[in-house]
Amino acid sequence: MSNLLTMTGKELRSHFVSPIAYAVMAFFLVLSGFFFATAVLFSQDSSLRYVFSDMSILLLLIVPLITMRLVAEEKKSGTIELLLTAPLRDGEVVLGKFLAALVFLGVMLAVTGYYALLIWIFGKPDWGAIISGYLGTMLLGAAYLSLGLFTSSLTQNQIIAGALGFALLMLFFLISWVADFTGPQFSGVVRYLGFTDHFDDFTKGVIDLKDAVFYISVVAVSLLLTVRVLESRRWK
Amino acid sequence: MIEVEKLTKYYGPKAALIDASFTVKKGEIVGLIGLNGAGKTTAMRILTGYMPPTSGKARVASYDVVEKSLEVRKRMGYMPESTPLYTDMSVRDYLTFMGRIKGIDRRSIRHRVDDVMKKTATTSYSNNLIGTLSKGYRQRVGLAQALIHDPDVLILDEPTVGLDPQQVHEVRKLIKDLAGKHTVILSSHILSEISMICSHVIIIHEGRIIAAGAPGSLSRGNTVRMVVRGPERDVRMKLGAVDKVVKVGCKSVESGLGTFDVDCAPGADVRERLAHAVASNGWGLLELSSGGISLEEEFLALVKKEVRI
Ligand SMILES: Nc1ncnc2c1ncn2[C@@H]1O[C@H](COP(=O)(O)OP(=O)(O)O)[C@@H](O)[C@H]1O
Ligand SMILES: [Mg+2]
């Protein structure tokens, strides 16, 4: 436990000293602020529903930028060898990196909380929908982050890691379109794997346990795969 | 402290380490020496539990490095090749992090960090970012990191590579001071360095251990080198007849000048008698030097011999 906290702390620190992280955060806040302004002006939306949908797409672009460096950089510089020969489990290294990225995402989303405050000052927010929207965004973001972390473990080149991560996220994002072309017996399965279908309910204020379980499963599988990749040096 | 038995490692079809066996006693400093690609890093990575061997066994402090990897890592400090460090951390933050993941508790960490910084003379840089330090100081921080949890065993992969002569000297001294308290394995491709620091040398060539022993036992202890103008056979015979001479070897003959290595009994100084033997036969003595053949030459000879086989 103490190992995990130490690892998470070190990773958090490296997020907050990285200029890329601040650029990413600024990019996210500026664009989502723009979406918020237009949504409020044109749709009189009090649930932030459209803002959450827009954020889910923004995160698609942003998460690979957050995660690409996580393992690839340590592989390149060789510091991974120090981590993996310290009395730490490979799982603690991976989980620590994931948790720190999740905290970073949480901080970024927390800053957008002022949208809700603005609605509260000038109108009547739909708190239920807003809270479930944030929950959904965190869950979706967690799934994205875990996939990005996985692709970062595959290579020591950050750019390749980022591109792979983006490609993988796009795949999950677009997969429900494929469902329209498969026969009816497959469309259910394919649709289930898509990221967006699970997300829509959250933005409408509906928290469905099945959707939460879906995202958490994606996280679990990605993190396990990442641990496997780190262990693969033991098979070669 | 360290027992290695028939360690073999294949990368795909390529063997990087073949049947390597050696033991290291507590408090010894052992040098692994070999050319680039000899298998030094591979051997060290197996000992640190970074990767398992294809076959064979290794034990550190009587724990198997594969089955009891975590136990081994708790007792081991490792400085990988080219000393990877987190360049965006300060020296103190970095050492604190490394100490914490090596199991030092929150209460004693500050004290331990101060302690290793003092030991490695990095205290005055404690708040500097590692990225801004010179190569020599980075090496010290790498060493401090390896020492932070006061491990029984230290594994240092090429600790002096890329340093300037002054830094090399300082880092060597640092390592030498660690002897006794820690058991150290270090690697190098410079033999003279190893013979300066280590109590024991292991020569690796193309994945095999081709020689091992104390540095003294590897060099041909008491040897006098002579360059003589005269008929090779006769010179060898006459020099061999001198009292206390064990063996005379002829290294080369070039335009009548023969280079001879005269092995003498330990402790005997026969230089004057050798010079007299040459002069009294009317040959020319152009050079006479004692001190033996350097380990470097011996190492190269061993490597060459191995290549021929
Ligand atoms: N990860 C790896 N994959 C494939 N071959 C490797 C790997 N690491 C080292 N080798 C090969 O194994 C041999 C021994 O390498 P190494 O142990 O690094 O030697 P040294 O440290 O003595 O220079 C070399 O021929 C090297 O090319
Ligand atoms: Mg090496």
* pLDDT tens profile B95-138: 999 999 999 999 999 999 999 999 899 999 999 999 999 988 99
Closest-approach residue (CA) in chain A for B129 = A17
**Mean pLDDT of the region B188-194:** 81
β-bridge pairing B200-205 and B153-156: unpaired
| Residue % of chain B over a pLDDT of 70 | 92
Residue B41 forms contact with A (CB below 8 Å):
no
The pLDDT-based confidence of A101 (bands split at 50, 70, 90) is: very high
Q: Can you give the residue ranges of every domain in chain A? A: 2-235
State whether the beta carbon of B41 lies less than 6 angstroms from ligand 1: yes
Shortest Cα distance, chain A CAs vs residue B36, angstroms: 18
Atom of ligand 1 nearest to the CA of B45: 17
ipTM rounded to 2 decimals:
0.88
Rounded CA separation B34/A27 (Å): 52
In the three-class reduction of DSSP (H, G, I as helix; E, B as strand; rest coil), residue B181 is classed as coil
The whole model's pTM is what? 0.84
The pLDDT-based confidence of B305 (bands split at 50, 70, 90) is: low
In the three-class reduction of DSSP (H, G, I as helix; E, B as strand; rest coil), residue B282 is classed as coil
Shortest Cα distance, chain B CAs vs residue A7, angstroms: 8
Where does chain A show beta strands of DSSP type E? none
Residue B48 forms contact with A (CB below 8 Å):
yes
Rounded CA separation B274/B242 (Å): 7
Atom of ligand 1 nearest to the CA of B38: 22
Place of tokens 């292991």: B202
Shortest Cα distance, chain B CAs vs residue A24, angstroms: 19
What pLDDT, on a 0 to 100 scale, did the predictor assign at position A226?
97
Q: Of B10, B35, B36, B41, which is best to mutate to test ligand 1, by the most ligand atoms within 8 angstroms of its C-beta?
A: B41
Nearest CB partner across the interface for A87, out of B45, B85, B103 = B103
- Cβ–Cβ gap B101/A3 under 8 Å: yes
Look at A11 and B197; give whichever has higher pLDDT: A11
Atom of ligand 1 nearest to the CA of B157: 21
Rounded CA separation A234/B49 (Å): 9
Residue B61 forms contact with A (CB below 8 Å):
no
Q: What is the largest CA-CA distance in chain B?
A: 79
Side chain identity at residue A34, one-letter code: F
**Mean pLDDT of the region B211-218:** 72
Residue A82 forms contact with B (CB below 8 Å):
yes
Q: Which residues contact A113 (CB under 8 A, 6 or more apart)?
A: none
Q: Which residues contact A1 (CB under 8 A, 6 or more apart)?
A: none
Shortest Cα distance, chain B CAs vs residue A144, angstroms: 26
Nearest CB partner across the interface for A234, out of B52, B87, B98 = B52
Nearest CB partner across the interface for B73, out of A79, A86, A234 = A86
- Cβ–Cβ gap A85/B93 under 8 Å: no
State whether the beta carbon of B223 lies less than 6 angstroms from ligand 1: no
Contact (CB, 8 A) for B94 and A79: no
**Mean pLDDT of the region B229-240:** 88
Residue A19 forms contact with B (CB below 8 Å):
no
Rounded CA separation A50/A64 (Å): 23
